[in-house]
Structure 1
């Protein structure tokens, strides 16, 4: 058998294993076993390489996480050295030098009063843990009535039971049993048809009033926490009105409602800063969750940053109680290899002036995005920093705004021409690796634009 035939047989075997054995995230079970996903063999910089050696721009940046790009030799070296030195250390019975150093490095760049860190395995477990900490906090203080949670429409906070319960991204909720009787979702931050011509201030007043009304209807004494993404990523890059989050934060403080800022996507450079909460949106939350860019996707890790004020309040009450144990934890909390990756990832971000680069290329990225507003299929575009969404509209008489077949064809056309894009429902989202250059941005948008034009020519007259 020739080498090429061996290679073909190997790829066929891998695809068989993938289709028949691996249930992927958000898998359509009705089509299980029929997928034809590209098999990624290696990656470097902003590029992926498939089973045929094709070079592909990673438009989604993995899952919003490949900040410093793929295949960084310094990262590989740091992780390999840590594996040889100490590959695992139980976070329950002892600590490790590398975890303590990672905690210090993260806290040193954390905003305001966030002086404590709780390591988790990923973003879902970070949000789950933050919500559990809020429950622990109020119950420990004897405020047992504070049980209710306010969350956002179109939000996504994870796939654990609790983090999924506070998520409102379009999905088949009726197929899962979720905790919902104490979770309340605010109306969408997207403008409806009656709000298109409102000024920013007019729209802001409506949204703030909705927030105040929800608090009043539930009763502020019953509300424990407001959880929000600074920018709703999976919901379709929904950017809040200017000063919206700042006003919500003020209202929360007035009513002793804690504020969790979910920075799993926006943290660690995506917005050109370590964290977007304070630097971009001017808020000082009680807790921040992070993951993804924390290690640039090289290894799984997440974290909850917690206000010192909350910890000090708990310490005061712990004097009155013999034990006040936050009985939650993970086998891989503060994992040595993950912490080594975090430290090296942050070192690289600093030494390469990555955030300054993001701030520079973001302006170009957003300017280039606007060209898509002229296309028939594109209803609107929106974005900020290195995040973008193209919301599509299918101009056919008998079609709704959501036409998976056409968008599947579009994403396949992009892939055929060397660009991986992610679409869900009628939206295409982009969050490329932060190291992307202006020339690479041109190439990304050129492939995407030409793919749109080809699909429009095929489907629409």
Structure 2
């Protein structure tokens, strides 16, 4: 039995309608090198989405990553997070050097889990703050924070949420920050998408709102970059009402945008909590982290005799040494190969080439992004901004796949707005790689 037949018989694929496999074989990837990945039939593709979900930041085929993991797990593969391990201590030290105002690193194994930890911290902090009243968490429309029930409760993706309720109470939605599709109409008041946060806090009651969770750049909701000054306003409002600012760097963290962290592009931000996953170890091992300030940590450091005041949480595979060992090597590669600089330079080139496509194709309504993270929003009419039907968007992706280039899109996320093509190649991407990607998209858009 072929590997694809075996896969078809037993594997339940993520976010996939399996009816399509009734008359087709699933794609199975077997080997990769750099940005190229080969399937079980011998076809080689240029992967412009880093493993499909913005993860393999340093590219495929890194033997040093395998060695780092092997060296760690043959010494100590695992110990529960109540006890320390050498890779965990070293990675915590190194990542904190990149975030001087933060100081504590809590390990788990996925982005959803990292965000769940942050929410539990907020809820438990509320118990110490005012008897649990300050427990509400504000999230943003179009942002995505994970796939568990509580993570979905804090995500502005209506299609991802559909059918999975009832949801965890205490999560309040605020409008998205898209300038192209303003939630406030064509004549949006200056930074209304940010100042409305204060209105929501006052409506809910400042003594009931514990945190705000935001992606620095909305990822799965359409690669939406915030307007200038947005995060400065958000930060000031959070400080005014003693609301923790939680920045979800699951996608943007570790160089994706040309900085170590996406929020570092914007002035005035000092998060209280940062969550990371995906690019932390570039998919070579499962790891996520919830990073906090010492002030947040101290909330849970009470008397030694206190049996309930400390953070009573555990993540089984947060104790696996493969994750932090891979994360350390991942960090070394990014530094030694100057991949942040490459993401900036080649990322600018990518946006330039995508803007050239805008000039040639009326179907492109907007081009946006930062670093090696970009989106093309497709429309059926530029003037009205009518979204292109998602069936046409999927045709574009299929045409690129036929040219052996893998690109992404907003996928089963937003009713009526699954119309953005997404790009997030490995940080090792070259101008020549960009040319290949853009040429495939150019030809694809000419066919839909």
TM-score norm. by structure 1 comes to 0.88
Deviations 1:28-75 (A, max 9, x none): 366575665422111100111122322211111111111111111211
**Structure 2 partner of 1:238:** 224
**In structure 1, how many angstroms separate the alpha carbons of the residues matched to 2:183 and 2:250?**
32
Native 8 Å contact 2:64 2:329 kept in 1: yes
Question: Which of these residues, 317, 338, 349, is aligned with residue 364 of structure 1?
Answer: 349
**Greater helix percent: which structure?**
1
How many residues align structurally?
Answer: 436
Question: Which of these residues, 303, 310, 324, is aligned with residue 309 of structure 2?
Answer: 324
Pair 1:438-2:431 in alignment:
yes
Ranges in structure 1 where 5+ consecutive residues have no aligned partner:
1-8, 457-461
Native 8 Å contact 1:20 1:32 kept in 2: no
Native 8 Å contact 2:177 2:194 kept in 1: no
Deviations 1:368-419 (A, max 9, x none): 11022231322222111111111112469xxx73534323322121111110
**In structure 2, how many angstroms separate the alpha carbons of the residues matched to 1:298 and 1:15?**
22
Pair 1:259-2:245 in alignment:
yes
Deviations 1:229-274 (A, max 9, x none): 0000000111111111121111111101111000011111112222
**In structure 1, how many angstroms separate the alpha carbons of the residues matched to 2:85 and 2:160?**
42
**Structure 1 partner of 2:371:** 385
The SS at the match of 1:333 is helix
**In structure 1, how many angstroms separate the alpha carbons of the residues matched to 2:339 and 2:286?**
21
Pair 1:131-2:119 in alignment:
yes
Question: Which of these residues, 81, 89, 97, is aligned with residue 79 of structure 2?
Answer: 89
The SS at the match of 2:369 is strand
Question: Which of these residues, 65, 72, 86, is aligned with residue 75 of structure 1?
Answer: 65
Deviations 1:304-356 (A, max 9, x none): 001101223443x5479454231111111141111111111111111111112
Ranges in structure 2 where 5+ consecutive residues have no aligned partner:
412-417
Deviations 1:190-222 (A, max 9, x none): 244796765xxx654322332121111111111
**In structure 1, how many angstroms separate the alpha carbons of the residues matched to 2:106 and 2:182?**
43
Q: Could you say if the C-alpha distance between residues 208 and 87 of structure 1 is closer, same or farther in structure 2, counting changes exceeding 3 Å?
A: closer
Q: Could you say if the C-alpha distance between residues 166 and 55 of structure 1 is closer, same or farther in structure 2, counting changes exceeding 3 Å?
A: same
**In structure 1, how many angstroms separate the alpha carbons of the residues matched to 2:21 and 2:147?**
20
Q: Could you say if the C-alpha distance between residues 289 and 216 of structure 1 is closer, same or farther in structure 2, counting changes exceeding 3 Å?
A: same
**Structure 1 partner of 2:90:** 101
The SS at the match of 2:250 is coil
Deviations 1:119-149 (A, max 9, x none): 0101110011111111111213344211211
**In structure 2, how many angstroms separate the alpha carbons of the residues matched to 1:35 and 1:213?**
52
Q: CA deviation at 1:84?
A: 2.3
Pair 1:427-2:415 in alignment:
no
Larger Rg: 1
- In the TM superposition, 1:208-247 aligns within 5 A as 208-247=194-233
The SS at the match of 1:141 is helix
